[in-house]
A and B are shown apart, each in its own frame.
Chain A
Amino acid sequence: MSNENGNWCLIESDPGVFTELIHNMGVRDVQVEELYSLDSDTLRSMEPVFGLIFLFKWQGAALQSGAKQNAGQVVDNNDVFFAQQIIQNACATQAILSILLNRESEIELGETLTNFRSFASDLPPDMRGLALTNCDQIREVHNSFVRPESFLTDPDEPKRPAGEDDDLYHFISYVPVNGRLYELDGLRRGPVDHGKSADWLERVGEVIQQRMGEYKEGEIRFNLMAVIGDRRKKLTEQISGVDRDISVLMAELEKLRLEDSKDLGDVESRIAGLNSERAELEHLVDLENGKFARYQFDNALRKLNFIPFVYQLARAMAEKGVLEPAVDKAKEKARNQPRRQQRPAM
C-alpha cells in the first residue's frame, strides 16, 4: 500500500452501510439488501436488481484468487467496466462501483461517479483500480465510516499495522452487461464471462451456488447482497398505480349505479381487492421507513466517538455508588475466566 493512495478504512459489510455509501457518493434511488435466498423468485421480487455482491471472509490462512477454477472465461471486453483491486480495504466501495458503473444507463450516478466513469473508461483495468484509490471524493465517502477509535490513539503511538490481524475479506460482483452475465473479481485480470442469458437472475443463482459448493463447510463465511432500486420509490409508484385502478373502477361503479345495473358485486369486490393490495403496499412502505430509521441509528453510532458517552456513564455509575462493586465483580470475573475470547473490533 503506497502513501499516495491514502488510507482506506475497513468497512462493515452491512446493507445499511452500503446503502449510505451509495447515497453519499451522489447516486439516487439505489439501495442494498442482504439476501438470504438465491431463488429467482426472491430476486425478482426485488426488481430492479442491478447486481449482486458476493462477499466472503476466509477462515483459512491465505487469500487466494479463484482458489478453484469455476466456470467462465476471463475475457477482454471493453463493454464491461472492470477495475482491478489495488488495495484491500477499498473492497466495499469497489464492489459497489463494479455494479453501478456497469448499469449507468439505468442509474442516476450523480456527478462524482459520472466524472469518474468517463475519466477511467479509457484506462486499462489496473490503472482504473489506481484511479479509484486516488479519487478523493470517493475515498472521503468511504472513509466517513472509519471507526472513530482509530483517531483516539496518541499521535506518537505506533499504529497497529493494518491487515496483519484483520480478517481477510474478498468480494465478487455479478452484473449483467448486454445480455451476458459477468463476474467481476478485482483479483483477476479481467471480467469472467458466464455466458449469454435471457434471465440473468436465474443464472446468477446457479453460478453462486456452484461457487459456494466448492468450499468445504466452515472454510468461508459469506454474505450476499443485492444492489437494487429504491424500494420506497417503487412501492409509491405501485400505490399510485393501484389508486388509478381504483378510480377507474369507482367511475365504472358510479356508471353502473346510474344505469341501475345489478352487476355491482363484481366491481365492488375488485375494488375491495385493490384496497387490501394498497394496504399491503402501505405496510411495506412502513417497513422500509423503519428499516431506514434503523440504518440511520446504526450508522450514527458506527461513526460516534463513544469515549465521552462511556465516561459519563461511568461517572453516573460512580455517583450512584454502583461503579466500584461492578468493577470488583468484573475483576473477579476476569480472574476466573482466563481464556475468555475477546478481539478488538477496529
Chain B
Amino acid sequence: MATHRQENALTFKAGRMYRDGETNWVRPDLRKGECQMTFIGSGAVRLRWTQDQSTVASGEEPTRPAQEEFVFFSGDAVAEKVTQSEGRVYVIKSKSTSTRLFFWLQSSDADMDYQIEDAINAHLLDDADRITDDSEDDEDDEELREALALSRQTGEQLAVVRETPDLRASMLPTAQVGGNRGGNDVVVPPSNGGMDQLRQILSSFQVPEITRGGKSRLAVQLGDVLTPEHLAPVLADPEVRRALLPTLPENIPRSSARDLENIVRSPQFQQALAALSYLLEDGQIAAVVSQLGLDPQASTSVAAFLEAVGRQVAKEKSKDEDDDATMQE
C-alpha cells in the first residue's frame, strides 16, 4: 500500500452494516472498526474500513473481511443519515451506481455525528479549495486510472468498488467495478452471537425495496409535497401564475387558477412527479438541477432538492432585504 498525506485523511470510528442476503434488511456487523478516507489522485477518494482486531470474537469463523476498500470519484457519492433507523446509521450512496454502503458510527460522542457526516461529504465532494492534492503516482493511482479508463470505455461513470488484494477471495466477487448490478450491498450471511445485545442499541432497519434501477421507495416523493391541496392556495396568487406561465405550453388553457388546478390534478403531472422523484433519488439529473442554480446537494434526493429550493428562496429574500436596506441608507 502506498503512503498518503495524512493531513488529508479523515478517520472516524464506525462499524459496517450489511444487507441480509437478498432481503431489504440491513443488519449491523458487531465488530468495531475504523474508517479512513484518503484522497488518492485522479479526483478520487478511497474509503478504507478496518476492523479493530481486539473485537474479533474468539472461535468465531470470520465470515466477513477484516478490511474493505471502496473508491469513489469526486461528486459521485453522498453520505446521509438513515432516517429509518433509530441508531447512528449512515449510508454512503453512489449516484451513478446502486452501491450503498452502510455504517454505524461508534465514536463516544453521538453529538458529533453530524460533523462526521459533513466531513465525509466534504471528502466525497473533494472540495478543492480546502484540500490540495499533489498527485501521487503510486500503484493505486495507476490502478485507478485503468478502472477509470475502463468505465469510460463502457460509457458509464462508475464508482470503483474494489477490495484489497489479500481479501479478494473472500468478498465482492463481481463488484470490482460497480455497475448497475441493482441493489447490491455487500452480501454476506449475518453474523451470530452478541447480535441480540447489539439489537437493543442498534435495531436492524429495513431499507427501501430496491428496484432494478436501485431506487429507494422510502424516500419523500414530490407528489407528497406538491399536492393539489398544498398548491391550491399558492395558485390563487396571480403573481405565482404569472411566473408559471412560461413553463407551460401555449396551446392549453394555463392562466386562471382553475386552469392550473386542472394541470396539477392531471395524471400527466402526477406521472411526471413520480418520474422526477425517481430521477432525483437516483441522482440522475444533477446537470439539470445545477442549471437551476441549486447547490450540488440538491440532486441527491427529493427532500434535498426541495430543501435546496427553500434555501435558494430564503437567500434571495435576505439579499433583497439587504439591498433594500442599502437603498434606504
Contact = CB atoms under 8 A, between A and B. Distances in A.
**A and B pair up:** yes
Interface of A: 147-149, 152-158, 160, 164-165, 296-298, 300-304, 306-320, 322-324, 326-327, 329-331, 333-335, 338-346
A318 B266 contact: no
A324 B248 CA distance: 25
Contacts of A152: 279, 284-285, 288
A71 to B, nearest CB: 37
Nearest to A158: B156
Question: How large, as a class, is the contact surface on chain B?
Answer: 35 or more
A316 B264 CA distance: 14
Nearest to A320: B234
Interface in B249-265: 249, 251-253, 262-264
Contacts of B227: 326
17 contacts: A148-B272, A158-B155, A296-B251, A297-B266, A300-B251, A301-B249, A309-B247, A313-B244, A315-B243, A318-B309, A318-B314, A326-B225, A326-B227, A327-B310, A335-B83, A338-B218, A344-B215
Given A310-B276, A322-B230, A323-B306, 16 more contacts: A147-B275, A152-B284, A154-B284, A154-B285, A158-B157, A296-B251, A307-B276, A307-B292, A309-B248, A314-B306, A315-B312, A318-B310, A327-B307, A327-B310, A330-B303, A334-B220
B54 interface: no
A330 B234 contact: no
B8 interface: no
A334 B248 contact: no
Interface stretch (B11-19, B103-111, B120-128, B206-214): B206-214
Given A152-B288, A153-B279, A315-B313, A327 B244 contact: no
Given A317-B230, A345-B274, A306 B211 contact: no
A300 B243 contact: no
A331 B222 CA distance: 11
Contacts of B248: 304, 309
B99 interface: no
Nearest to A337: B218
B241 to A, nearest CB: 9
A316 B237 contact: yes
| A-B pairs with lowest CB-CB distance, top 3 | A301-B268, A330-B224, A344-B278
Given A165-B211, A311-B292, A327-B220, A306 B272 contact: yes
Contacts of B220: 327, 330-331, 333-334
Contacts of B243: 312, 315-316
A168 to B, nearest CB: 15
A302 B268 contact: yes
A37 B279 CA distance: 39
Contacts, number: 186
Nearest to A304: B249
Interface string B188-227: 0000000000000000001011011101011111101111
A297 B252 contact: yes
B273 interface: yes
B287 interface: yes
Interface in B87-111: 96
A191 B284 CA distance: 44
Contact of B224 (A164, A297, A298, A333): A333
A309 B213 contact: no
Given A300-B251, A314-B226, A306 B212 contact: no
B234 A310 contact: no
Contacts of A346: 275, 278
Contacts of B285: 152-154, 307
Nearest to A297: B252
Contact of A313 (B96, B156, B231): B231
B240 interface: yes
B157 A312 contact: no
A157 B284 contact: yes
Which interface residue of A153, A156, A318 has the most chain B CB atoms within 10 A? A318
Nearest to A323: B310
A313 B263 CA distance: 12
A216 B278 CA distance: 33
A333 B227 CA distance: 13
Nearest to A307: B288
Contacts of B303: 327, 330-331
Contacts of B279: 149, 152-153, 344
A311 B276 CA distance: 11
Nearest to B313: A318
Given A312-B244, A319-B313, A327-B220, A335 B234 contact: no
B180 interface: yes
B268 A316 contact: no
B114 interface: no
Given A153-B284, A334-B219, A313 B226 contact: yes
A218 to B, nearest CB: 22
B157 to A, nearest CB: 5
Given A158-B180, A165-B213, A313 B234 contact: yes
Contacts of A160: 213
Contacts of A322: 230, 233-234
A164 B237 contact: no
A323 B225 contact: yes
Which interface residue of B274, B275, B303 has the most chain A CB atoms within 10 A? B275
A296 to B, nearest CB: 6
B300 to A, nearest CB: 13
A327 B271 CA distance: 19
